[in-house]
Chains A and B, each alone.
Chain A
């Protein structure tokens, strides 16, 4: 336990410079660029005096370095600041939208893992056959499909041609969110409230966006599982298991798959960035009221503090996910040392 604690501390300390670098980068990218948030806020024809005053109010008249120091001081107080466009704290819309994104991501990731690991293991087990080639091609092609186009195609087929599933938003207008909204995770909220019709409605809205995300990510898992499984199947202990007369099915899906999961787990942490990038595209295609959509909207409005806060949050999420994966890995594999 002591070993893991030490490992955890070092890893945690290492994530701090990473977040700091990204934050600095984004801060300067947002400010060095020619776009002017005050003008986009007040309109191009606002009188010069009003623009100057607003600029002073927001602290934008100071030199960039001074603004940067101010921002760091503010962050040190765990304060993400106020939105430049709306009269609200930056954290308010984020708190509001984060559960929607997490619900989508978690749901999508679970489907992707199940689908990808199963197909990959099946392909490795049938190496060199037509089935294997088909699965390999699936992994390759699915990875090259843009998330938004996949989403639109699913909308076209299941939402418009067959008219089975809704294609936008998290709920229908007839469902009153206020009746059950508690944590922001609608699937859980509706279940707690015992509101089954609302639960089914929320689930129906989740299917297509989650499937979009899942299909795209499943490609990576197919390839990872297949490649690692082939490696594992070459090990002596697999030969030993076979020699003991254990059935082929048990050897592949129990002995080999278990050991394949370790490298897959490490890759899971790295795929988080990809997951977020695809979530942005999925959310905007399905008008999903999540954080990624919020980010794109606020970028268009040049709301610096909100954009910065969301980017920091994403950076923290990316580091945390890789931290958690590393920890689980260190726990599974006692040879890991830092």
Chain B
């Protein structure tokens, strides 16, 4: 299943290079960004000249120079090294959170769409209510009540994205359910579970991949926002959002580098995942593809 999906995807990739132009470039740039940041997150020691909490990386508030390319913060820590180590934190939280939401949202959506009835109605109403509410505010409430901690923040971020998977998967299940091949599966005696797993799930997979990518982009923004508001991770873990909140205090003195670089890092990482997600959504959408 995964291999056929990959092969299909590679084929689209080759064809669409000719067809799409800008969209193809957007996808490539997105993949490059994501790949590069994943590398820094996996091997921060290779990219960073100093440790994230090492307080003698340079003079306090030293501007960007050859020794400290992004400058030095109020505690004498190298901003560049903190950005590199911070990628590990934010990418980890966003990825795990997206994984949790998808693992809860997808099965619920499949079952809800397939079974229908009261179960589907009630669950849909709950999911729609959460979906329509500003996710960040829900995450703020959850994070504040759970208290700081990497597990708590990941959980708070994960909860608010469940409805996205649920709604998309449910909607697709509803339409796939009516297809002839499901009828055929039923006729040869496939059980309900088998229908869900082997007949319906592979057909929603393409959508799920798109949501997953966009979800990580969104989760990165949410994690950073929670940290910025002081509801994020405990001190000691390098964190882009908190570094910006800290640098904000010294902004009036003109120390622009303390906030500029972590912010640019958030923007580029979010942009990377958004570019990948949106390009995939265009390339995998048969309606758009054949236009």
Contacts and interface: CB of A to CB of B under 8 A. Distances in A.
Nearest to B126: A21
28 contacts: A17-B125, A18-B128, A22-B130, A25-B129, A25-B130, A30-B141, A133-B22, A143-B274, A146-B224, A146-B263, A146-B267, A148-B225, A149-B267, A156-B251, A156-B256, A160-B252, A274-B134, A276-B137, A277-B135, A280-B136, A280-B229, A284-B229, A296-B140, A296-B229, A299-B141, A315-B133, A318-B132, A318-B134
Interface size range on B against A: 35 or more
Given A21-B125, A295-B140, 13 more contacts: A18-B128, A21-B126, A26-B141, A35-B145, A140-B26, A144-B217, A146-B221, A148-B228, A152-B251, A277-B136, A280-B136, A311-B141, A322-B132
Interface of B: 22, 26, 125-126, 128-130, 132-137, 140-142, 144-147, 217, 221, 224-225, 228-230, 244, 248, 251-252, 254, 256, 259-260, 263, 266-267, 270-271, 274-275, 278
Interface in A274-316: 274, 276-277, 280-281, 284-285, 295-296, 299-300, 302, 307, 311, 314-315
Given A21-B125, A299-B140, A300-B144, A314 B134 contact: yes
A22 B133 contact: yes
Contacts of A145: 267
Contacts, number: 122
A301 B252 CA distance: 28
A141 interface: yes
Contact of B251 (A33, A155, A273, A277): A155
A235 to B, nearest CB: 15
Contacts of B132: 18, 270, 273, 318-319, 322
B275 A140 contact: yes
Contacts of B128: 18
Contact of A311 (B137, B145, B256): B137
Given A33-B145, A144-B274, A311-B141, A160 B254 contact: yes
A152 B270 contact: no
Nearest to A298: B144
A213 to B, nearest CB: 14
Interface in A71-107: none
A54 interface: no
Contact of A141 (B125, B129, B267): B267
A219 B274 CA distance: 13
A326 to B, nearest CB: 13
Interface in A116-172: 133, 136, 140-141, 143-146, 148-149, 152-153, 155-156, 160-161
Contacts of A22: 129-130, 133
A63 interface: no
Nearest to B248: A152
A245 interface: no
Given A34-B147, A146-B266, A318 B133 contact: yes
A145 B130 CA distance: 24
A280 B22 CA distance: 34
Contact of A314 (B133, B224, B263, B271): B133
Contact of A273 (B126, B133, B230, B278): B133
Interface string A258-279: 0000000000001001101100
A108 B148 CA distance: 32
Contacts of B130: 21-22, 25
A185 to B, nearest CB: 23
A222 to B, nearest CB: 14
A149 B249 CA distance: 13
A143 B225 CA distance: 14
Contacts of A155: 251
A136 B225 CA distance: 25
B156 to A, nearest CB: 10
B274 A281 contact: no
Contacts of A315: 133
Nearest to A26: B141
A168 to B, nearest CB: 10
Contacts of B278: 140
B239 to A, nearest CB: 13
A300 B230 CA distance: 9
A277 B229 contact: no
A136 B133 CA distance: 28
| Most-contacted residue by chain A among B144, B147, B266, B271 (CB, 10 A) | B144
Nearest to B270: A144
A308 B274 CA distance: 33
A281 B140 CA distance: 11
Contacts of B129: 17-18, 21-22, 25
A69 interface: no
A93 to B, nearest CB: 17
A20 to B, nearest CB: 8
Nearest to B145: A33
Contacts of A33: 145-146
Contacts of B136: 277, 280-281
